[in-house]
Amino acid sequence: MEQEIKSVVDLQHKYKFELRKTDAKTRIAKLKKLKFALEGAEAEIYHALDKDLRKSNFETAVTELFFTYAEIDHAVKKLSGWMKPKSVGKTISNLFAGNKIYYEPKGVCLIIAPWNYPLQLVMSPLISAIAAGNCAILKPSELSSNTAAVIHKIISNTFDKKEIACFEGDVEVSTALLKLPFDHIFFTGSTAIGKVVMEAAAKNLTSVTLELGGKSPAIVDGSVDLQKAAEKIAWGKLVNAGQTCIAPDYVLIDENLEGAFVEHFKNATEKMFFMDGKISEEVYGKIINKKQFERLNSALQKAINDGAKIEFGGGADADSLTINPTILTSVNTENSIMQEEIFGPILPIVKYKNLQHAIDFINSKDKPLALYIFSDDKKSQEKIIKETSSGGTCVNDVLVHISNPNLPFGGVNSSGIGSSHGIFGFKNFSHERAVVFQSKLGMTKMIYPPYKMGLLKWLKKLL
């Protein structure tokens, strides 16, 4: 396998010079071909995601397929404009020159995707890579093996491997790939593995985009409609059984609202994910595998042993890899459940006395991938936005910022490096090349030796 991988990567390094010559029409045709292939494989995709994560067809359509189709359509519509060289302003040093930014493809790009949204998180960066004129190597997660097999089939049947290739396999495949020189690496996954990817990339001075995660908080104050806030947080936390990188990880709530919020959250959860008093497996997903199931159960038990109280849920079924939606109060904030990303359907609630207390709590931790503000007070909204940092933020909603391709999506520091989607993804897979077209009237000769010291005063005033 290692030799096969090297052979394909070498092939792409040779072919990338041809791809960089492609125009918008050619790239748009490739994007449309990708969409056509995905549409033809929809039945297989639905079946694979059901097998891997017990995703309903509806959830797969909305969070995986429709999301991907919308991103392709956006790129098809906008690509011609994105590719055009952009004229920029002049300075005194090149007053008569033409100044432009050209967008050139980075070359051969490696895309390593996770298992939680195994189709979308392969296809989204691939769309940007194609739009920017790159070759690409895809490495889907082996944990979502059924979806990985479908992706491999789609790519193999649609593209020549000298342009786009897909390799299935475990950590040995990822390790073999990371040993090779790429022009860019796009990784989505945990912060811990992101550090490994970045270290490997540094050996070849390869640029990286890291879409990571972290503990994304939701702040709830007394000015908001608590029932609506709880319903939105419940959906955002429990879609895909909590296995979403931008899911609300914990709730910071005004100390006077905790009891009412718990009741609203419980009611919303039962309405959305239960039937006849039991979890509905038709709409509620499963944990990806036994290892993750045991990790979550262990984290819950440690939190309880450390004083946390289960207000709702707590049940689990090992045979179906199902962990019921669970709310925790009285959580020890030093416990590991408040230190590590949960990535599951367990929601700790932390009370705060005043807004500054909540802000200070967020700032005491690593910068999150997402921050959710539930408040109808404009001053509070602005205060939180100005005094905290996060990859993205939603006010009075959750998750939806990822769905707008006109917004950059990405983390900051420990939650990620770089942005994706729309033009931000196109730029991410492009090198912004500065080009100056000097005029015959250019004045740079004035600063050639021998130096005329009297010229400095005039230049200082001019500049």
Catalytic residue ranges: 211, 245
3-state secondary structure 106-156: CCEEEEECCCCCCCHHHHHHHHHHHHCCCEEEEECCCCCHHHHHHHHHHHH
Specify whether the CB–CB gap between 78 and 423 falls below 8 A: yes
3-class DSSP state of 393: strand
- Rounded Cα distance between 92 and 443, Å, is 9
Q: How many CB atoms lie within 10 A of CB 306?
A: 15
Q: How many CB atoms lie within 10 A of CB 44?
A: 15
Task: Please give the single-letter amino acid code of residue 338.
Answer: M
Helices 2-19, 171-178: axis angle to 10 degrees equals: 50
Q: CA triplet 292, 417, 133: central angle to 5 degrees?
A: 105
Q: What share of the chain is helix, strand, coil (3-state, %, to 5)?
A: 50, 20, 35
Specify whether the CB–CB gap between 337 and 302 falls below 8 A: yes
Task: Please name the residue that has the structure tokens 């992706």.
Answer: 151
- Rounded Cα distance between 6 and 422, Å, is 31
